[in-house]
Amino acid sequence: MIRLITYPLLTTFVLLFDINAVKNSRGFEVVGSREPVRAEVGDDVVLPCHVRPEFDVTRQTVEWKRERTVVHMFKSRDDNPDTQDLKFRGRTSLFRDKMTQGNISLKLTNVSEADAGNYTCYVPKMESQLNRDNVTLIVADSPSPDPPHLSPGLVSGIMILCLIGLVCLAAGFILCKRQSMCPAQNTRQSDRQYPDKGQDRVDGSPLKHRGQRRQRGQHRQHQQQ
């Protein structure tokens, strides 16, 4: 009997409390962000939204949507994942310790390119024409790593080393070319200066003629004697 009486009274008290909360919400407004929120793929971001002036929204229903998709639902003082889209499940949360001050910002983790778009924060039970506002999320690809930066001094040093290498290569080529030509030049000069020497190398015929001339000279000397 006591339970039958207590339950209706408790329900009536809660309803009256919620009605007072709704009445007290008159004159308040939901404020999002005029500036877009920018993020890169894989980042965690906060989509800012709050009630102005400060108002305890822990007894209110708070909805976050991206177009018609339910991103996050807070109802009866707790998150309600049953109505949440599967793409956002496990990646969204509100700042519970700041909701008494009217903060209904949404934290979204592990952002992807598909998360980009226009988000709406909405407090449906607040008796105000300004019970919702928008936040735009822009998601960009992760930047590629910058190429290694070379200081001007290092670049100058590399250029000087390359120039020295080219000079050494050219000098070596010229030296090798001269050395390959020198034996032929020396041979031609030796042949010009000592023609008999060249013939000696071929068949030895000049030595033979010289011996014959000596024998003839000795023969003439004997005849004269």
Summarize pLDDT for 11-60 with one digit per residue, the tens: 443 333 344 444 455 688 999 999 999 999 999 999 999 999 998 999 99
What is the rounded CA–CA span in Å between residue 172 and residue 4?
A: 110
β-pair type (92-94, 106-108): antiparallel
Architecture of domain 2-140: Sandwich (2.60)
How many CB atoms sit inside 10 A of residue 108's CB?
Answer: 24
Phi, psi of 140 (to 5 degrees): -115, 155
Q: Coil, strand or helix: which one is 215? A: helix
- Residues of the chain below pLDDT 50: 1-23, 198-204
The rounded mean pLDDT for the chain is 78
Q: For the chain, which residues make up each domain, given as ranges?
A: 2-140, 150-199
* pLDDT score of 187: 57
How many CB atoms sit inside 10 A of residue 200's CB?
Answer: 13
Residues with Cβ within 8 Å of residue 201, at least 6 apart in sequence: none
Phi, psi of 200 (to 5 degrees): -60, -35
* pLDDT score of 3: 47
110, 10 in Cβ contact below 8 A? no
Residues with Cβ within 8 Å of residue 32, at least 6 apart in sequence: 47, 48, 49, 120, 121, 133, 134, 135
* pLDDT score of 24: 53
> Residue 95 — left, alpha, or beta (φ > 0 → left; ψ -120 to 50 → alpha)?
beta
